[in-house]
Amino acid sequence: MGRLAALIALIAAVWVIYHLWTKNNRLSDTEKLIWTVCAIAFSIVTAIIYYFTQYRKIQ
């Protein structure tokens, strides 16, 4: 179960970082850096927050 949670956390962090730096042109580099650090530190929670605050605005 621990490996599954770690895999989900890794996928969530990679998704946020990828989308942030390739698709999201509305944020400054500083904001992107803050999101990136949060994605690495709190991957699943950050992915959920990013989805509701940034991703849906872009789509």
Helix (H) or strand (E) holding 21: helix 2-22
**Domain count for the chain:** 1
More confident site: 36 or 55 = 36
pLDDT at 59 over 70: no
> pLDDT tens for residues 19-35?
999 998 999 999 999 99
Domain carrying residue 17: 2-58
- The Cα–Cα gap between 57 and 19 comes to 13
- Angle between the 29-41 and 2-22 helix axes, to the nearest 10 degrees? 170
- pLDDT value of position 56: 74
Reference 15, options 34, 40, 25; nearest CA is 40
pLDDT at 58 over 90: no
